[in-house]
A and B are shown apart, each in its own frame.
Chain A
Amino acid sequence: MNLTCIVCPNSCELFIEKNGDKLKVSGHMCKRGIEFAENEIKAPKRVVCTTVKTNLQNTPRLPVKTDKEIPKEKIFDVMKEVNKLEVINKTKVGDILIKNVCGTEANIVATDNFLF
């Protein structure tokens, strides 16, 4: 099967053959492509980037993201958890707002500064 690697701008077109449990990957320009292909077939993961509500009228939203990739099927669960928050305290880039969101081992971190 064919897969486009999304790790870097090269967007290599990967060609994947399944040999029983093993995967043969070709078309990649670096190791990350193999890792990506393996994950994508077995357990696709994504980073979720979104915003969170704040209490400031002038900046009512603060951008956040998961600090690691999370299982693709948990994207909307993660969104739900993030949407429950309202940021009221000083926050800087990288601050954790939710630890281990939805049991994914990824944290929700701020990607911009708030009141900072």
Chain B
Amino acid sequence: MKEYDVVIIGGGPAGMAAAISAYDNEGKVLLIEREEKIGGILKQCIHDGFGLVKFNEQLTGPEYANRYIDEIKKRKIEILTETFVLKIDEKESFIMEFMNREGVQKITTKTIIFATGCRERTSKQIFIHGDRPAGIYTAGTAQYFTNILGFLPGKNCVILGSGDIGLIMARRLTLEGAKVQGVYEIKSEPSGLTRNIRQCLDDFDIPLYLSHKITRVFGKDRITGVEICQIDENFQPIPSTLKKIECDCLILSVGLIPENELIQELGIKINKFTNGPEVDNNFMSTEISGIFICGNAVHVNDLVDYVSESGEIAGKKAVEFIKNGEKTFEKTSVVFDEQFLYVVPQYYNKNTKEDLLFYFRSKNNFNDQKINIIINDYIISKKYKKLKSAEMERLTLKNDFESNLKKINLQME
């Protein structure tokens, strides 16, 4: 059986960054990807807005992916595409079984980095009822049809959910000649980035209806329309607002769910706020050492730049973990108050010497909000002009703390 130091599952922005960083730190790396080409979901994200933080440029998804692919090509990183991981067994090392056109193979590895991304929430998960007509797609599926295969899923579309992918598709479909009737969002706030509301909806006069939901879907063979209505503060439909809208396509952008099937099979628990496994500041699982998880598999990010960042950290730290004799250290739990939806990572190694990095989401929208970060006996304050629940924040702190990190507490004032 072939032996590796680091096997990375998933060749998207997280996995590619992890592969490069693990390789540069002299690990023996294998990158496994189930599609024909690496690049992950970026291949179909032909719009720009990627890389503003990392490269200080506005890149399209494929351009961002190619930056990493070019770096990978400069190195001798072993990559297996069209390869699917079947099983992982935890022994002294990890034994991984995967399959591709060559057959079923087993390898051993000292560490595994999961960069498995996420999947889209389906119509059944939001309990859309009625018949089962064709023409109902999640935004990512519609995006694949439009951008990769070159086919329009509909000519007269309604979009449910103001998540980023839905907003992006509103623009994309309009550019390719379809009509988008409107975007309907159940919350009283949009879920996607503000700049996407501007560039994708406002630019094209596509209306955004907040506090609206779809109550019925019409059509037996193909969708012919939807019934929408406004909802009150208790999310109950207001009957007088029921309205039928004709359409031939319903696009759903109702959330992403981190993809963690293999992780769960290993017995690792999923955090109910992030929908992903819990990790420490090295992106290592707090339940099974040697298992690392990065990118959208940990929590759904808004910016791919941060996805790559977590992958880079995981790759480096996986190799470091091996070099340290696979030792684990005491961890401090990251505590936060109820104004935060979640904070990642959930744990910090007490002996961390690097600068501190947190990603978090606020439960509500705040203006001029002060956040106090308590590290041991120190309080560091950061002020945010705007905090939105739809926008993930990244916070860094210089690590000037002489002693170990005994207490980490995030509070909103």
Q: Do A and B come from one complex?
A: yes
A→B interface (CB under 8 Å): 4-6, 8-9, 11-13, 46-51, 53, 59-61, 63, 65, 72, 75-76, 79, 93, 111-113
> Are A50 and B195 neighbours in the complex by a CB distance under 8 Å?
no
Check if B58 sits within 8 Å of A47, measured CB to CB: yes
B residues touching A (Cβ–Cβ < 8 Å)? 43, 46-48, 52-53, 58-63, 66, 147-150, 172, 175-176, 193-195, 197-199, 203, 302-303, 385-386, 391
Contact A53/B203 with A4-B194, A11-B194, A111-B46 known, Cβ cut-off 8 Å: no
CA distance A63 to B39 in the complex (A): 14
Write the chain A residue with the least CB distance to B60. A111
Residues of A close to B303: CB separation below 8 A: 9
Contact A63 B60 (CB under 8 A): yes
A63 contact from B46, B194, B199, B385, Cβ within 8 A: B46
Residues of B within 8 A of A111 (CB): 46, 59-60, 62-63
- Tell which of A4, A47, A112, A113 touches B48, judged by Cβ atoms closer than 8 Å: A47
Pair A48/B175 contact, Cβ less than 8 Å: yes
**For residue B198, which residues in chain A have a CB less than 8 angstroms away from its CB?**
4, 6
Closest 10 CB pairs of A and B: A63-B46, A112-B62, A6-B195, A111-B60, A11-B194, A61-B150, A49-B47, A111-B63, A60-B150, A111-B62
In the bound complex, residues from chain A placing their C-beta under 8 Å from that of B43 are 112
Residues in B with CB closer than 8 Å to A49 are: 46-48, 60
Q: A11 is contacted by which of B150, B175, B193 (Cβ under 8 Å)?
A: B193
Contact assessment for B195 and A4 in the assembled complex, using a CB-CB cutoff below 8 Å = yes
Q: Are B66 and A112 closer than 8 Å at their CB atoms?
A: yes
Task: Check if B386 sits within 8 Å of A53, measured CB to CB.
Answer: no
Asked if A60 contacts B149 (CB within 8 A), the reply is: yes
Q: Least Cβ distance of A61 to chain B in Å?
A: 5
**A112 and B199 alpha carbons, distance in the complex (Å):** 23
Given known pairs A6-B198, A9-B303, the reply for A51 and B66 (CB within 8 Å) is: no
Can you list 19 A-B contacts with CB-CB less than 8 angstroms, sorted by A residue number?
A5-B195, A6-B195, A9-B303, A9-B391, A11-B193, A11-B386, A47-B48, A50-B176, A60-B149, A60-B150, A61-B150, A63-B62, A75-B175, A79-B175, A79-B176, A93-B62, A111-B46, A111-B62, A113-B66
Bound CA–CA A68/B250 (angstroms): 33
- Residues from chain B with Cβ under 8 Å of A61 in the complex: 147-150
A1 to chain B, nearest CB (A): 13
Q: Across the interface, do A51 and B62 meet the contact criterion of CB distance under 8 Å?
A: no
A47 — which chain B residues lie within 8 A by C-beta?
48, 58
Least CB distance from B173 to A in Å reads 12
Supposing A11-B194, A63-B46 touch, asked if A46 and B203 sit within 8 A by C-beta, the answer is yes
Within 8 Å CB of A76, what residues of B? 175
Chain B residues whose CB sits within 8 angstroms of the CB of A48 once the complex forms? 175
Name the residue on A nearest B367 (C-beta).
A13
B48 touches A65 (CB 8 A): yes
User: Complex formed: what's the CA distance from A53 to B148 in Å?
Assistant: 10
B68 to chain A, nearest CB (A): 12
> Could you tell me the distance in whole angstroms from the C-beta of B153 to the nearest C-beta in chain A?
14
The docked-state distance in angstroms from the alpha carbon of A48 to that of B203 is 12
Q: Report the separation of the CA atoms of residues A113 and B46 in the bound assembly, to the nearest whole angstrom.
A: 13
